[in-house]
Amino acid sequence: MKSFWHNITAGLKDIYDVFTLELYRIFTDGGVMLIFFVGSLIYPLIFGAIYKHECIQNLPVAVVDDSQSASSQRFIHKLDATPEVNVDFHCNTLAEAESLMRQRKVNGIVYFPNDYSDRLAKGETARLCLFCDMSSFLYYRSVFAGASSVMLDEMKHIELERYAMAGVTGQDAETAITPVPYEDVKLFSPAGGFTSFLVPALLALVIHQTLFLGIGILSGTAREEGQTVAIVPERLRNRSVYRVVIGRSLAYMMIYIPLVAIDLVLLPRVFGLPHIGRLGDLCLFFLPFLLATISFSMTVGSFVRQRDTGILVCIFFSVVLLFLSGVVWPRSNMPLFWKYFSYLFPSTHGIQGFVRINSMGAHLKQVQFEYQMLWVQSGLYFLTTCLLYRVKFFKYKDGAVCI
């Protein structure tokens, strides 16, 4: 019994020693401090500033009115009044508008053919042409949304006129035009903005990537300095990898709990992003997210032989991970291989779960799959880390590498 207690206290002491040593290493490494503290706080602030405005408003468009009629002018006035676009140029020919588009002075052209009003007068379908700048999808979205909202409004106006000519007016005409009206409800981000959609995902990615990068750099530095995978107190060399892994994990946990609280709880409130998730669910979700990220980073980190390799790998993977998370490109449409590939990374489940709890008010029950996967990853990567550390410790057991 006594030896049992002795083992426990010795183990705890070892863990504590590894923990303090790791903290010392973090706080004495400028690069790691930069990534951990400056990176994880500056990036969200910059992203918040870049994507400050949810939607694009008042995009300049040019109008070419060959019809020169009251109905086309009414359309143009209404178009100018939409929040999405501004009619900045009235051109006489399509070529003139085209050259404006080439000079990038307008992001769209609306063209009314000369038979526009004639067709309307005859009760036929009138056609107008819309040319969209596709250099950014948000231009296309805004120009198209502006033009189609005016079109719907104009259509109603014209239909009412036509029914009136046929002797149907008032409520009867309204019912005749839209016998089955529909209401659209845009859930979780009523403005349909880019910010509410992208920034929460980026915040979770920043946590994942800074942690991954920091641990990668620390492992790389240790290797560059001729150590094994981690610097450990002398008496712990060659034994008890669990204590080393747990001790290091605790150090990262301690640093990242406040950072997660700032980035993923405080900042959505400061930036006015959606934050309808319950705090309890969020905290319960962050625990496996951090654990999985830390163990994953330590596993990958043990392959990093040089400090800067970690940075290269991380940089290049950031963009890929954002796409793999399924926030930008829907998960239902991913090729099967990439879908399963994405399950390897804690960021995939972390981003998904965070977005759904934070922005969509999901309970833990609805992110059950992600939650379980993160715990599985935590366990699995913990074991692989221990295994890799053990292999590497043994490799250097003969004392070829000393402090």
Among the listed ranges 5-13, 40-48, 246-254, 259-267, the one in contact with other proteins (CB under 8 A) is: 40-48
Q: What is the dihedral of CA 84, 85, 86, 89, to 10 degrees?
A: 170
Q: Is 395 in the site for other proteins (CB under 8 A)?
A: no
For other proteins, the closer CB: 335 or 399: 335
Interatomic CA distance for residues 133 and 108, integer angstroms: 6
> Least distance in Å: CB of 283 to other proteins?
18
With CB under 8 A, what is the number of residues at the site for other proteins?
114
For other proteins, the closer CB: 141 or 392: 141
> Least distance in Å: CB of 145 to other proteins?
10
- Residue pair 155/71 in contact (Cβ under 8 Å)? The answer is no
> Least distance in Å: CB of 291 to other proteins?
23
> Least distance in Å: CB of 16 to other proteins?
28
Q: What residues between 187 and 206 interact with other proteins by CB under 8 A? A: 187-190, 192, 194, 196-198
Site string for other proteins, 349-388 (x = CB under 8 A): ---x--xx--xxxxx--xx-x-------------------
Choose among 121, 126, 128, 127: nearest CA to 162.
121
Among the listed ranges 2-10, 76-84, 327-335, 394-402, the one in contact with other proteins (CB under 8 A) is: 327-335
Q: Are strands 108-112 and 59-65 parallel, antiparallel or unpaired?
A: parallel
Which residues make Cβ contacts (< 8 Å) with residue 53, sequence separation at least 6? 193, 195
For other proteins, the closer CB: 240 or 359: 359
Site string for other proteins, 18-37 (x = CB under 8 A): -----------xxx--xx--
Among the listed ranges 138-146, 241-249, 282-290, 389-397, the one in contact with other proteins (CB under 8 A) is: 138-146
Q: Is 170 in the site for other proteins (CB under 8 A)?
A: no
For other proteins, the closer CB: 116 or 286: 116
Which residues make Cβ contacts (< 8 Å) with residue 153, sequence separation at least 6? 78
> Least distance in Å: CB of 245 to other proteins?
25
Q: SS3 of 69, please? A: coil
Q: What residues between 80 and 119 interact with other proteins by CB under 8 A? A: 101-104
Q: What residues between 250 and 279 interact with other proteins by CB under 8 A? A: 274
The 10 Å Cβ neighbour count of residue 192 is 12
Which residues make Cβ contacts (< 8 Å) with residue 324, sequence separation at least 6? 338, 341, 342, 345, 347, 348
Q: Which of 81, 257, 283, 315 binds other proteins (CB under 8 A)?
A: 315
Choose among 290, 307, 292: nearest CA to 213.
307
Tell me the residue type at 71.
Answer: S
Length of the chain: 403
Q: What residues between 62 and 81 interact with other proteins by CB under 8 A? A: none
* Residue linked to tokens 């163990």: 295
Q: Which of 320, 376, 380, 401 binds other proteins (CB under 8 A)?
A: 320
- Residue pair 159/177 in contact (Cβ under 8 Å)? The answer is yes
- Residue pair 130/143 in contact (Cβ under 8 Å)? The answer is yes
